[in-house]
């Protein structure tokens, strides 16, 4: 199955046909294009009870990978495998993200805690942030990314340690962090809004 999926994708990677064929076939792989120039990539992930999978290929059709796991919390493993393959085969413009964290006071950390409801990206439910022993953790209710630490890298900006996502908070008129955007390689893929019952104290 992984080999078959990869052959299908890499045989359809010309950009004009990419959106037409893949969206027509219901695969939805063309909705997120990342990377730059001839090294642009498309992919899709999936999950259900007992498994997680991820697919990634470049638009030239020369490089790609399909990874499947038989675990509910396999996202960090998927991410590690893909980065390792990218390093071994010298994928251009696809490296592990390098970042350095910044220190937040307890009061600053508390500004980001609570529950947010997804408002785009086709995901139901939401996600929540909690604080354990001085570390902020993110839990996505959809389940494809397990509860994992987030590292502050700038004001209102965090990275997930177990996936290639950046989280950016937006503040409302009251100064409260009310909105949230998820980015993958600088492409916005989801947005969320703080739940009415989750106001910061």
pLDDT per residue over 64-123, tens digit each? 888 888 877 677 788 888 889 888 988 877 777 777 889 999 899 999 999 999 887 666
pLDDT of residue 10: 53
SS (H, E, C) the chain: CHHHHHHHHHCCCCHHHHHHHHHHCCCCHHHCEECCHHHCEEEEEEEECCEEEEEEEECCCCCEEEEEECCCCCHHHHHHHHHHHHHHCCCCCCCCCCCCCCCCCHHHHHCCCEEEEECCCCCCCEEEEEEECCEEEEEECCCCCCCEEEEEEECCEEEECCCCCEEEEEECCCCCEEEEEEEECCEEEEEEEECCCCCCC
Greater model confidence, 74 or 180? 180
């Amino acid at each position: 199955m992984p080999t078959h999926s990869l052959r299908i994708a890499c045989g359809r990677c010309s950009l004009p046909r990419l959106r037409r064929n893949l969206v027509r076939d219901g695969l939805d792989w063309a909705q997120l294009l990342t990377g730059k120039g001839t090294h642009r990539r498309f992919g899709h992930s999936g999950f259900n009870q007992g498994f997680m999978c991820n697919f990634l290929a470049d638009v030239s059709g020369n490089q790609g990978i399909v990874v499947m796991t038989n675990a509910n919390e396999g996202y960090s493993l998927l991410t590690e495998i893909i980065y390792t393959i990218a390093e071994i085969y010298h994928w251009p413009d696809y490296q592990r993200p390098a970042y350095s964290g910044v220190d937040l006071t307890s009061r600053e950390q508390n500004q980001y805690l609570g529950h947010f409801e997804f408002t785009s990206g086709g995901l139901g439910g939401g996600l929540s942030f909690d604080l354990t022993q001085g570390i902020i953790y993110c839990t996505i209710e959809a389940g494809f990314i397990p509860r994992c630490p987030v590292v502050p890298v700038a004001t209102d900006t965090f990275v997930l340690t177990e996936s290639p996502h950046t989280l950016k908070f937006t503040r409302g008129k009251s100064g409260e962090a009310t909105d949230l955007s998820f980015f993958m390689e600088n492409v916005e893929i989801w947005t969320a809004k703080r739940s009415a019952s989750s106001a910061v104290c």
